């Protein structure tokens, strides 16, 4: 059994300002910007929050890790701006966004936050367990529907969660887009987690 011990508790942070609205946003089409708590994200206005909130899974994972190390962290919007300046996000001419790009992200967290990180492209169950046993946090790419694990996995990858430890043959993780408290702070058997996983991600050395 291994549970990650950090200087501070690892908070469960969602990429949306109001966790109670996530179900309506992801399953009922409610606009992310329709959230009166938008300013808590650090965004300059409601429109900017609405544009970025659905793309902040990686920034939510980073914010959790920084809180675990330092007891404090910049806002989601501030983290995104810094990451984008390093090429982690790239705005397209059509108004969309490409990213999160892993290698620019790794450079950003090293230079801006003194956090060592590495890209892992063969992140199977054994490698994931090994990294957790070494006391590291792992940003793992999974399908967003991992928040409803009772259903068949519709695919792999595209969304980042923060894997925080393992115990009793299960992995524990925080999901930035979890639509219920149980989905935000979740536990799954390794083989079930792997069915949603793209087997790539970023290892954080706290």
For residues 206 and 136, what is the distance between their CA atoms, to the nearest angstrom?
Answer: 6
Query: What's this model's pTM, rounded to 2 decimal places?
Result: 0.96
Query: Count H helices, E strands: the chain?
Result: 8, 9
CATH of the domain at 80: 3.90.70.10
Q: Is there a contact between 173 and 162 (Cβ–Cβ < 8 Å)?
A: yes
For residues 29 and 195, what is the distance between their CA atoms, to the nearest angstrom?
Answer: 26
Above 80 in pLDDT, residue 3? no
Q: Is there a contact between 194 and 124 (Cβ–Cβ < 8 Å)?
A: yes
Specify the number of domains making up the chain: 1
The percent of residues above 70 in pLDDT, for the chain, comes to: 97
Structural Rg of the chain based on CA atoms:
16
Under the banding of pLDDT at 50, 70 and 90, the label for residue 5 is: low
The more confident residue out of 167 and 69 is 69
Above 70 in pLDDT, residue 47? yes
Residues spanned by the domain of 130? 2-205
For residues 191 and 169, what is the distance between their CA atoms, to the nearest angstrom?
Answer: 10
- Over residues 116-172, the pLDDT tens digits come to 999 999 999 999 999 999 999 999 999 999 999 999 999 999 999 999 999 889 999
Q: Is there a contact between 132 and 171 (Cβ–Cβ < 8 Å)?
A: yes
What pLDDT does 6 receive?
66
- Over residues 70-111, the pLDDT tens digits come to 999 999 999 999 999 999 999 999 999 999 999 999 999 999
In order, the DSSP letters of 41-54 are GT-SSHHHHHHHGG
């Amino acid at each position: 059994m291994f549970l990650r011990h950090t200087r501070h508790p690892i908070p469960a942070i969602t990429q949306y300002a109001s966790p109670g609205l996530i179900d309506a946003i992801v399953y009922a089409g409610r606009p992310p910007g329709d959230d009166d708590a938008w300013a808590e994200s650090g965004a300059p206005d409601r429109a900017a929050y609405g544009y970025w909130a659905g793309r902040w899974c990686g920034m939510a994972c980073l914010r959790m890790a920084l809180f675990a190390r330092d007891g404090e962290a910049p806002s989601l919007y501030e983290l995104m701006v810094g990451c984008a300046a390093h090429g982690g996000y790239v705005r397209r001419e059509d108004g969309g966004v490409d990213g999160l790009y892993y290698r620019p992200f790794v450079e950003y967290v090293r230079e801006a936050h003194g956090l060592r990180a590495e890209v892992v492209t063969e992140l199977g169950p054994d490698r994931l367990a090994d990294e957790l046993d070494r006391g590291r946090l792992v940003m793992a790419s999974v399908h967003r529907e991992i928040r409803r694990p009772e259903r068949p996995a519709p695919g792999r990858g595209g969304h980042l969660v923060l894997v925080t430890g393992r115990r009793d043959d299960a992995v524990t993780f925080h999901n930035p887009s979890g639509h219920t408290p149980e989905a935000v702070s979740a536990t799954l058997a390794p083989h079930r987690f792997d069915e949603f996983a793209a087997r790539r991600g970023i290892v954080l050395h706290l």
